[in-house]
Amino acid sequence: MKKILPILLAILGLAACNDKATLDNSRVHYVTYEGRKFEVRVAPTGTPNEYRLLVVRATLVINPDPERERERDSAIAWQAIQIVCKGGRPQVLEHSLVDNVNFMTRFRCT
């Protein structure tokens, strides 16, 4: 029994892991919001003044509430967009919640 327990724990630990969302050619910034850690990734799209932004939960989430996650991630994304656009007037072109916890948006600084 003593030998089985560590193996069982290792299997359960691996089963709980998911691939972390990423964004090619992005810079990452770490943010704490409402006591939770997030990664904010920003990358240019190739179009002038247009960017992709991904907010990724840096902590494990069990049974997430998609609506609450969207609210948090949107607030974090908006703060990051304001920084990237340096106080200009950003225009959000699209946004979506990925895997119920990661928020993806594409925006343009005008």
**Cα(27)–Cα(102) distance, rounded to whole angstroms?**
16
Among 49, 40, 38, smallest CA distance to 108 is for 49
Give the percent of the chain with pLDDT over 90: 49
Taking 80 as the threshold, does the pLDDT of residue 37 lie above it?
yes
* Span 38-86, pLDDT tens digits: 999 999 999 999 999 999 988 877 888 888 888 999 999 999 999 999 9
Question: Are 73 and 107 in contact, with CB atoms under 8 Å apart?
Answer: no
- 0.85 exceeded by the pTM? no
* Span 87-101, pLDDT tens digits: 789 999 999 988 777
